[in-house]
């Protein structure tokens, strides 16, 4: 047998590659910033800002400026102590140069520089430098202004004194490298949202964001003296709180500090945002675990003590957290983050601190505020009864439909492949469109689930209503992973879940309803990147036997001109697709389902706080915030077929 391009049969020292300096960062940027997409691009700014926030946490910085400049460069300025510029003993080079050119160098590894810190464990500044086309640092310190310039991680101008000053602080300006990033255009709203979060988490710190690009100039200043209490108030601004006050608790043990702010509302969704050293931990960890355990224990103990619960009655953790908005923030010296992206906190001692704090202080609050305490326990009891009703509804539906035996819903046309990573399911609105999809699909790996009519708005419903819903329950069964706290992504039957709806207002509404459901009850689907929206064409253009499609008005005009070939008298027939059901099976396959030619939009969750706010506004009970949002964003609703 002939083997081509076979690897060398020898394996010796010559096979070992050593990457000098910051070469490793440029070769594998995703290892350090997650990706080279928009999220990674914005992550560069967060790393520099994290260094400024560390100065604030240490008590030396009160103001931070984040500015987008013309040309999509970024400037971050703080009024902290300024990065040291004297010679670092181990390297014999200025400390500023070491910080920006050596991985794992900084004031975060002992030596008393910082008690707590976020960022990438001291690799942040050097990583940003490595992934920038150019970067300039100015340090105001000891009466002088020091400057150093870099290009793709290499020093191009050594440390130089360029002036005198009467202030302290650091200014960093950099240009993301287009050789690394897919796009180097910054989104002001994304940066502003993240900076608002940082301001909430560091009470009294003023953060100013500025967009100085011509034609879009804007700026915002954020400072929250109430810290995470104001964060909870802000999160609940489009909801109806169950009690007026935000419950706040804080405690300290050694160098570790924990603080929690929480408030219930009359909705059904649990919203918990946790942070460790100002780093968001979307997968929770020990701080969340300590809080949840204590909350459940305290509410059950209070309910029994006040005879609100019978002796043999108990509310679960899920019941206790229904309608809860909570922010957990801990600061500790040696934070142990699990995973490269720091999504989970692993310090067991912080669980003990948080559990003890909540057990003691929440009990005192409930004793001193009996009216609020009664409202909270009553809500948990109502949630418990609804959960039992949901369980009975689920079991009843399974018995009626025979789904406990593993039978799939009638509306599902499954695929032949059984490896979830190779399978995709199209959720299609309407029987006619589903019919075309079934005939046009590749049945080896593409499944079709037909839906009809408007589905339930889960923002206004509990789980018992969901299990009883004739639109949602078949989808839950087809996906196979359950919902809510029972959701198990390992049981998911498809790793591509594609929403295919018409390109009109009704189709947009259906997509929004489905995405609300996924966000509230199957969020890991979005976090893993398994949810997509199909992009069907808007127009069909015909000239003789030549047929083309267009996905926008601009593309329609361009394709029409191409078909005319510069001859204005040539007739080109243009038809607007009114719906997916109008397409023949082969048209639907060629334009919307063929993996070689289709367009899919992946639904991402880069900002959970913003997503929670938008879903609450669009799908929640309050009408006024929704009206204001529509009026504010109406200008962007172009090309909608009403």
Phi then psi for 275, rounded to 5 degrees? -140, 145
Rounded Cα distance, 58 and 484, in Å: 39
Provide the pLDDT confidence category of residue 4 given band limits of 50, 70 and 90: very low
Owning domain of residue 313? 228-389
d(CA 642, CA 578): 11
Confidence of residue 277 (pLDDT cuts 50, 70, 90): confident
- Specify if 122 maps to a domain: yes
What is the predicted pLDDT for the residue at 642? 40
Q: What is the mean pLDDT of residues 613-633?
A: 73
Mean per-residue pLDDT, 76-83: 95
Give the pLDDT confidence score for residue 608 in this predicted structure: 65
Mean pLDDT calculated for residue range 469-479: 86
Distances (CA, A) of 270 to 126, 517, 521: 38, 14, 10
Last residue of a domain, one of 222, 250, 266: 222
Confidence at residue 109, expressed as pLDDT on a 0 to 100 scale = 42
Domain end position, chosen among 326, 358, 389: 389
Give me the pLDDT at residue 161, please: 96
On the question of pLDDT at 203 being above 50, the answer is yes
Q: Are residues 369 and 444 in the same domain?
A: no
Together in a domain, 207 and 251 = no
Looking at the structure, do residues 355 and 447 belong to the same domain, yes or no? no
Question: What are the structure tokens assigned to 513, written together?
Answer: 């309803």
Q: What's the pLDDT band for 568 if we cut at 50, 70, 90?
A: confident
| pLDDT at residue 639 tops 60 | no
Distances (CA, A) of 267 to 144, 343, 445, 460, 613: 56, 27, 39, 7, 13
For residues 138-152, give the mean pLDDT: 96
> What phi and psi values does residue 527 have, to the nearest 5 degrees?
-60, -35
Matching residue, tokens 């200014």: 171
Residue 58 lies in a domain: yes
Say which CATH number the domain at 352 has.
3.30.230.10
Q: Do residues 524 and 490 make contact, with C-beta atoms less than 8 angstroms apart?
A: no
Contacts by 235-238, CB closer than 8 A, 24 or more apart:
235/271, 235/273, 235/325, 235/327, 235/609, 235/612, 235/613, 236/263, 236/265, 236/325, 237/625, 238/613, 238/616, 238/617, 238/620, 238/622, 238/625
User: Is 567 within the bounds of a domain?
Assistant: no
Under 8 Å between Cβ of 367 and 377: no
Element (H, E) at 282: none
> For the residues 276-282, what does the mean pLDDT come to?
87
Identify the three-state secondary structure at position 381.
Answer: helix
Q: Are residues 324 and 290 in the same domain?
A: yes
**CA neighbor of 201 nearest in space, from 288, 328, 343:** 328
Query: For residue 337, is it within any domain?
Result: yes
Query: Among 222, 237, 258, where does a domain finish?
Result: 222
- Confidence category of residue 624, pLDDT binned at 50, 70, 90: confident
pTM reported for the whole predicted model:
0.75
pLDDT in tens, 23-32: 888 888 888 8
User: Cα-flanking dihedrals φ and ψ of residue 537, to 5°?
Assistant: -70, 155
565: in domain = no
Mean pLDDT across 597-602? 88
Q: Give the pLDDT of residue 11.
A: 44
Q: Tell me the pLDDT of the chain averaged across its residues.
A: 86
Sheet strands (E) in 285-407: 324-331, 337-338, 344-345
Task: Over range 151-163, report the average pLDDT.
Answer: 95
Residues 39 and 170 in one domain: yes
The total number of structural domains in the chain stands at: 3
The CA angle 541-544-548, to the nearest 5 degrees, is 30
User: Is residue 583 situated within a structural domain?
Assistant: no
Are 483 and 609 members of one domain?
A: yes
Residues 342, 211, single domain; the answer is: no
Q: Which of 33-42, 423-432, 454-463 has the lowest mean pLDDT?
A: 454-463
Return the higher-pLDDT residue of 640 and 482: 482
Do the domain assignments include residue 615? yes
**Which range (121-125, 288-292, 295-299) has the least confidence?**
121-125
User: What pLDDT is stored for residue 396 in this prediction?
Assistant: 67
DSSP 436: H
Q: Give the up-direction half-sphere exposure of residue 278: CA atoms within 13 A in the CB hemisphere.
A: 29
**Residue 7, pLDDT above cutoff 60:** no
CATH number at residue 436: 3.40.50.670
Instruction: Indicate whether 348 and 464 sit together in one domain.
Output: no
- Please state whether 430 falls in left (phi above 0), alpha (psi between -120 and 50) or beta: left
Cα(640)–Cα(642) distance, rounded to whole angstroms? 6
pLDDT tens, residue by residue, 397-441: 555 554 455 578 888 999 999 999 999 999 998 788 889 899 999
Considering the domain boundaries, does residue 5 fall inside one?
Answer: no
Query: Bigger pLDDT: 321 or 9?
Result: 321
Flag whether pLDDT at 252 surpasses 80: yes
Q: 382 and 481 share a domain?
A: no
Name the pLDDT band for 5 (thresholds 50, 70, 90).
very low
Provide the H-helix boundaries in 317-369.
317-320, 348-368
Q: Quote the CA–CA distance of 631 and 347 in Å, as a whole number.
A: 46
Q: What is residue 106's predicted lDDT score, i.e. its pLDDT?
A: 57
pLDDT value at residue 402 = 46
User: Are residue 205 and residue 81 in the same domain, yes or no?
Assistant: yes
**Residue 537 in tokens:** 């064409």
Residues known to be catalytic:
429, 502, 504, 506
pLDDT at 597: 86
- H or E segment at 627? helix 623-633
Q: Are residues 319 and 370 in the same domain?
A: yes
CATH of the domain at 121: 3.30.565.10
| Whether residue 64 sits in one domain with residue 162 | yes
Is 80 exceeded by the pLDDT of residue 105?
A: no
Q: How far is residue 25's CA from residue 130's CA, in Å, rounded to a whole number?
A: 7
Report d(CA 225, CA 84) in Å as an integer: 30
Q: Please write the tens of the pLDDT for every residue from 350-394.
A: 999 999 999 999 999 999 999 999 999 999 999 998 888 877 766
Which pLDDT belongs to residue 399?
57
CA-closest candidate to residue 479, choices 489, 498, 493, 466: 493
């Amino acid at each position: 047998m002939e083997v081509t391009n076979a690897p060398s049969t020898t394996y010796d020292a010559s096979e070992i590659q050593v990457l000098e300096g910051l070469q490793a960062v440029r070769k594998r940027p995703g290892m350090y910033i997650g990706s080279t997409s928009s999220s990674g691009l914005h992550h560069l700014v967060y790393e520099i800002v994290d260094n400024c926030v560390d100065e604030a946490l240490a008590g030396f910085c009160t103001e931070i400026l984040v500015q987008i400049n013309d040309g999509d460069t970024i400037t971050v300025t703080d009024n902290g102590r300024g990065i040291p510029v004297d010679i670092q003993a181990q390297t014999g080079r200025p400390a500023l140069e070491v910080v920006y050119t050596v991985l794992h160098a900084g004031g975060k590894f002992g030596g008393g520089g910082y008690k707590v810190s976020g960022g990438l464990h001291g690799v942040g500044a050097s990583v940003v430098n490595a992934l920038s086309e150019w970067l300039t640092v100015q340090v105001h310190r000891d009466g002088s202004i020091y400057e150093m310039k870099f290009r793709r991680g290499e020093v191009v101008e050594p440390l130089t004194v360029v002036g005198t000053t009467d202030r302290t602080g650091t200014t960093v300006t950099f240009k993301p490298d287009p050789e690394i990033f897919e796009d180097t255009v910054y989104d002001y709203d994304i940066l502003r949202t993240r900076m608002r979060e940082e301001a909430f988490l560091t009470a009294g710190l003023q953060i100013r964001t500025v967009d100085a690009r011509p034609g879009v100039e804007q700026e915002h200043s954020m400072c929250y003296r109430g810290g995470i209490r104001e964060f909870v108030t802000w999160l609940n601004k489009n909801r109806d709180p169950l009690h007026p006050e935000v419950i706040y608790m804080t405690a300290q043990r050694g160098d570790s500090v924990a603080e929690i702010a929480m408030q219930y509302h009359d909705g059904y969704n649990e919203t918990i945002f946790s942070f460790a050293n100002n780093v968001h931990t979307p997968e929770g960890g020990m701080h969340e675990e300590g809080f949840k355990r204590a909350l459940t224990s305290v509410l059950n103990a209070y309910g029994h003590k006040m005879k609100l619960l019978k002796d043999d009655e108990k509310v679960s953790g899920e019941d206790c957290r229904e309608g809860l908005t909570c922010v957990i923030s801990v600061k500790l010296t040696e934070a142990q983050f699990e995973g490269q992206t720091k999504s989970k906190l692993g310090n067991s001692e912080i669980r003990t601190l948080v559990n003890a704090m909540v057990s003691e202080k929440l009990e005192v609050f409930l004793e001193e505020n009996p009216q609020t305490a009664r409202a909270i326990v009553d809500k948990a009891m109502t949630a418990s009864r609804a959960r039992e009703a949901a369980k009975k509804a689920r079991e009843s539906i399974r018995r009626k439909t025979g789904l406990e035996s593993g039978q799939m819903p009638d509306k599902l046309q499954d695929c032949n492949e059984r490896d979830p990573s190779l399978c995709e399911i199209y959720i299609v609105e309407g029987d006619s469109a589903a019919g075309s999809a079934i005939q046009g699909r590749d049945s080896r790996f593409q499944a079709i689930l037909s839906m009809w009519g408007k589905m339930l708005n889960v923002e206004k419903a509990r789980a018992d209503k969901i299990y009883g819903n004739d639109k949602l329950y078949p989808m839950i069964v087809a996906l196979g992973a359950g919902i809510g706290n029972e959701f198990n992504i390992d049981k998911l039957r498809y790793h591509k879940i594609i929403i295919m709806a018409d390109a009109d207002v009704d189709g947009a509404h259906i997509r929004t309803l489905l995405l609300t459901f996924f966000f509230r009850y199957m969020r890991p689907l979005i976090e893993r990147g398994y949810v997509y929206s199909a992009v069907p064409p808007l127009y069909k253009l015909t000239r003789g036997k030549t047929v083309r499609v267009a996905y926008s008005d601009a593309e329609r005009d361009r394709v029409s001109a191409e078909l005319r070939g510069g001859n204005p008298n040539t007739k080109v027939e243009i038809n607007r697709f009114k719906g997916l059901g109008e397409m023949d099976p082969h048209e639907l396959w060629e334009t919307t389902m063929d993996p070689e030619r289709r367009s899919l939009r992946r639904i991402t969750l880069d900002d959970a706080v913003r997503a929670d706010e938008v879903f609450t506004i669009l799908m929640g009970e309050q009408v006024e915030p929704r009206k204001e949002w529509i009026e504010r964003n109406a200008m962007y609703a172009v090309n909608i077929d009403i």
